[in-house]
Amino acid sequence: MLKEGSKAPVFKGVDQNGKEISLEYFKGSKVVLYFYPHDDTPTCTNQACNLRDNYSELTKRGFKVIGVSTDSVKKHKKFETKYSLPFSLIADEDLTIVNQYKVWGEKQFMGRTIIGTKRTTFLIDEKGIIRKIIAKPVSKKHTEEILVAWDGQ
């Protein structure tokens, strides 16, 4: 895992609308960069909908929200449309970004050890520094976790 206080790895990817997204585009803004396993699964949907439902509060506080999973652009578009998600979802099918952020690897799922994306959120400041890392976020309370983590620094 990366450490709080270190420079966030710069990445480029394509979102659900075919738009190139780079961390560089968000310099000067606070960024919620959240990694999740798969679109349209129960916990991932709860997390995305929690961020959607609280999106105006997050943007009011100056946050930009970016989701990343290893699903395809097409799958992200379907997920965004189904749940009216107002933020970018980057398709990382080649595992570049999940590897940069050290969130790809062994994890426990339903009593088994599997390889996949570890649900993790990075709060990145205006200068590109990781201010907080939320490992294993609580999906239905994720926005609250973000705001408490940011305000508590």
Domain presence at residue 4: no
Pairing of strands 63-69, 130-135: unpaired
Predicted structure pTM score? 0.94
Whether 146 shows a pLDDT value over 90: the answer reads yes
Which among 26, 98, 11 is positioned nearest to 64, based on CA atoms? Answer: 26
Q: What is the CATH number of the domain that holds 79?
A: 3.40.30.10
* Torsion from C-alpha of 40, 44, 46, 52, nearest 10 degrees: -90
Q: Assess contact for 98 and 70: CB atoms under 8 A.
A: yes
Largest CA distance in the chain: 42
Domain presence at residue 58: yes
Total count of domains within the chain: 1
pLDDT band at 71 (very low <50, low <70, confident <90, very high): very high
3-state SS string over 20-64?
A: EEEHHHHCCCEEEEEECCCCCCHHHHHHHHHHHHCHHHHHHCCEE
Q: Give the mean pLDDT of the chain.
A: 94
The span from the CA of 105 to the CA of 113, in Å, is 10
Structural domain boundaries, residue 23: 12-151
pLDDT band at 151 (very low <50, low <70, confident <90, very high): confident
Whether 64 shows a pLDDT value over 80: the answer reads yes
pLDDT band at 112 (very low <50, low <70, confident <90, very high): confident
Catalytic sites, residue numbers: 44
The span from the CA of 147 to the CA of 133, in Å, is 12
Domain presence at residue 1: no
Average pLDDT over every residue of 69-81: 97
* Predicted local confidence at residue 122, as pLDDT: 97
Whether 153 shows a pLDDT value over 60: the answer reads no
Quick one: what percent of the chain has pLDDT higher than 90? Answer: 88
